[in-house]
Structure 1
Amino acid sequence: MTDGAIKTGVIGLGYFGSFHARHHAANPKSQLVAVVDADGTRAAAAADQHGAIAFSDHRDLIGKVDAVSITVPTSLHHAVAGELIDAGIHVLIEKPIADTPTAARDLMRRADARGVVLQIGHIERFSPVFGLLRERVGRPITVECTRIGPWKGRAVDVDVVLDLMIHDIDLVLALVGSEVVEVEATGSPVLAPTNDFAHAQLRFADGTLAYLAASRISDRSERMIKVVDAERYWMADLAARTITSFGRNAGFDNRDEISVPPSDNLALEIDSFLQAVASKSRPVVDGKAGLDALTVADMIIRRIAEKPRQAAASAIGGAH
């Protein structure tokens, strides 16, 4: 912590929230004042670890902090963030911004009214691998994203589209920069009451096609983005931290491989949030970006629901 550090708090100390607390405590721009969790024992343990105060109610932070990370279940994002925004507290909300586009728009309106930073935790935007891909790729013709992993039993309160695929929805929207005009999708629940895998095809107004696959019941982990532009074919492995490309006419003879040094993307995300608060500037991933990703995710979920369950179930073999 340095003089003039931003007084911060973390609300929700589950698996990911504990990482937020650690990074707020370690960042010199931040003074972690308090942590909040409905589980008093968990809150007390985190408070002891980081020299903070433990609370069980997020409203106890009002008047004590300037900025917070909100890492509670998605269904609580609107209620928790809304009350803190109204109190003039800057918020970093873990993705997705909310559980419905209507709730997201309300948070944006309230943040604008209070003049506070509203940042959404789309962590892959801070991946140097994605940053380098975005810098080098030309206008995409097609984009293919795969995000699959084994069952962990977490975040089952939300569909896999909101749990995993929304990361890639945000990345595709950032790469393409055009409006989604058509959506096709299939998916199905397997172990959770909501969809555990999903496939989606997005058609953009500029003609770009994007194909997205997400699964939380896979036998392996993969986080890959493949892009075809006018000149090259690009393969970005976000987990292995590599970008491979080759010319569309020269094939593998013109192959180029880049290895990207390790980074802590959450640390970069939180530092960016604190910088936006300190400078009173627009965050890298603002409320509109969060709303845009959520709107497309909602379109995908609705499209899946329109499909006969039998047709969706037939796709399970390719989901993992």
Structure 2
Amino acid sequence: MMSVLNTAVIGVGHLGRHHARVYSSLPGCRLIGVVDPDAERAAEIAAKHGAETFATHRDLIGQVDAVSIAAPTSNHHEIALDMLGAGVHVLVEKPITKTLAEADELVTAAGERGLKLAVGHIERFNPAVVAAVKHITNPRFIEADRISPFSFRSVDISVVHDLMIHDIDLLLHFVDSDVAEVQALGVGVLTTSEDIANARLVFENGCIAYAKASRVSMKQLRKIRLFQRDAYLSMDFVKKEAVLFRKSPDFDPSKVDIASMASGGIAELTKLVFSKFLTREVLPMDEEDQLEAELGDFVDAIRDDHPPAVTGAHGRRALATAERIVAAIAAHSWE
């Protein structure tokens, strides 16, 4: 086992600069370098964390054990393949690649060389998800909403690959079944690809999930509501809160006299339901930073030789579902 893991970050823009920050302080890690086409930005981040700047990602070969790739999606495949070919463990930001063929190449390359290939689906490490997943048994219906104002980032990909893919990964993680059917609709508002999209996923086990994503909203909302037998889970990724509602053992509709509640109306009925028939529990959760948890998991996977929480195969699976959604959008007729 290596004593110190030498790491580097390729692409230190909006996301990559935070990867550099975390690597520089993660126990057992040393941030040795950063790569970015913006030389001034690279120098700034490197100086801040006591690292060096490298002109290209290939200049890192022979210097590093592991890298994070936070470059534009169109560059993921080339960079990751070069690093894996040189024996370097790779964490690549989502989506894993532009195409499924590229993703397959990366998964194969990592497997053949016994290297770790992780994908940055960071919501897996959201405290709300970590707390809620322990209570998910057999979901039957799920609603996912992810909307935000236009950020002027990731305009080279659709909102499906940019934002919705977070929830696609979570839906696939929560539901232990393949997707049998996809229906979707999307519209480009400010870019040439979809800026708002809605998808309906039907899983082979019968579960149905609705996912909505928008990057042209006036507000930010990131929630998932999951329904299963005798329970309902609400996850708020912005507030980092998860609430579990369960049916009380005392639930018996035959013992409720609705007629006697006429004067109180909905308010009285709601009070009765939530006081006697449903239990509400705000799930306890850790306050660990999501990115620290994600990179910590990646480093542990390398050190202890086990798969990372989000593998290349998981990233490929999310991309495949995103591609099906985009294809369904393209097949829609507006005539």
Indicate the residue corresponding to 2:308 in structure 1. 283
Greater C-alpha radius of gyration: 2
Indicate the residue corresponding to 1:255 in structure 2. 279
Q: Percent identity?
A: 41
Q: Are the structure 2 counterparts of residues 264 and 309 from structure 1 closer, same or farther at C-alpha, using a change threshold of 3 Å? A: farther
The CA distance in 1 between the partners of 2:241 and 2:298, in whole Å, is: 26
- Contact 1:241 1:261 (C-alpha < 8 Å) held by counterparts: no
User: What is the Cα-based RMSD across aligned positions, in Å?
Assistant: 1.4
The CA distance in 2 between the partners of 1:74 and 1:240, in whole Å, is: 28
Indicate the residue corresponding to 2:262 in structure 1. none
- Contact 1:40 1:55 (C-alpha < 8 Å) held by counterparts: no
Q: Encode CA deviations 1:216-270: one digit per residue, 9 max, x unaligned.
A: 1111111111011011122111111222233357543323131545331011000
Q: Are the structure 2 counterparts of residues 264 and 289 from structure 1 closer, same or farther at C-alpha, using a change threshold of 3 Å? A: same
- Contact 1:20 1:69 (C-alpha < 8 Å) held by counterparts: yes
Between stretches 137-146 and 244-253, larger displacement belongs to: 244-253
User: Deviation above 4 Å: which 4+ runs of structure 1?
Assistant: 248-251
Between stretches 242-251 and 147-156, larger displacement belongs to: 242-251
Q: Secondary structure at the match of 2:202?
A: strand
For 1:67, give the aligned amino acid: A
The CA distance in 2 between the partners of 1:112 and 1:18, in whole Å, is: 28
Q: Secondary structure at the match of 1:255?
A: strand
Q: Are the structure 2 counterparts of residues 304 and 248 from structure 1 closer, same or farther at C-alpha, using a change threshold of 3 Å? A: farther
Indicate the residue corresponding to 2:93 in structure 1. 94
Between stretches 278-287 and 166-175, larger displacement belongs to: 278-287
Structure 1 gap ranges (5+)? 311-320
Indicate the residue corresponding to 1:113 in structure 2. 112
- Contact 1:242 1:257 (C-alpha < 8 Å) held by counterparts: no
Indicate the residue corresponding to 2:266 in structure 1. none
For 2:290, give the aligned amino acid: N
* Offset at residue 42 of structure 1 (A): 1.0
For 1:135, give the aligned amino acid: K
For 2:234, give the aligned amino acid: M
Between stretches 126-135 and 77-86, larger displacement belongs to: 126-135
Structure 2 gap ranges (5+)? 252-272
* Offset at residue 308 of structure 1 (A): 2.4
Q: Encode CA deviations 1:266-316: one digit per residue, 9 max, x unaligned.
A: 110001101111112111100110011000000001110111256xxxxxx
Q: What are the within-5 Å matches in structure 2 for residues 166-245 of structure 1?
A: 166-245=165-244
- Contact 2:125 2:293 (C-alpha < 8 Å) held by counterparts: yes
* Offset at residue 51 of structure 1 (A): 0.9
- Contact 2:129 2:242 (C-alpha < 8 Å) held by counterparts: no
Indicate the residue corresponding to 2:270 in structure 1. none
The CA distance in 2 between the partners of 1:69 and 1:60, in whole Å, is: 15
Indicate the residue corresponding to 1:74 in structure 2. 73
For 1:298, give the aligned amino acid: E
Q: TM-score, normalised by structure 1?
A: 0.93
The CA distance in 2 between the partners of 1:215 and 1:67, in whole Å, is: 33
The answer to whether 1:300 aligns with 2:325 is: yes
Q: Secondary structure at the match of 2:53?
A: strand
* Offset at residue 101 of structure 1 (A): 1.0
Q: Secondary structure at the match of 2:63?
A: coil
The CA distance in 1 between the partners of 2:174 and 2:323, in whole Å, is: 20
Q: Secondary structure at the match of 1:146?
A: strand
Indicate the residue corresponding to 2:157 in structure 1. 158
Q: What are the within-5 Å matches in structure 2 for residues 9-48 of structure 1?
A: 9-48=8-47
Q: What are the within-5 Å matches in structure 2 for residues 112-151 of structure 1?
A: 112-151=111-150
Indicate the residue corresponding to 2:294 in structure 1. 269
- Contact 2:70 2:93 (C-alpha < 8 Å) held by counterparts: yes
- Contact 1:166 1:297 (C-alpha < 8 Å) held by counterparts: yes
Q: TM-score, normalised by structure 2?
A: 0.89
The CA distance in 1 between the partners of 2:158 and 2:55, in whole Å, is: 27
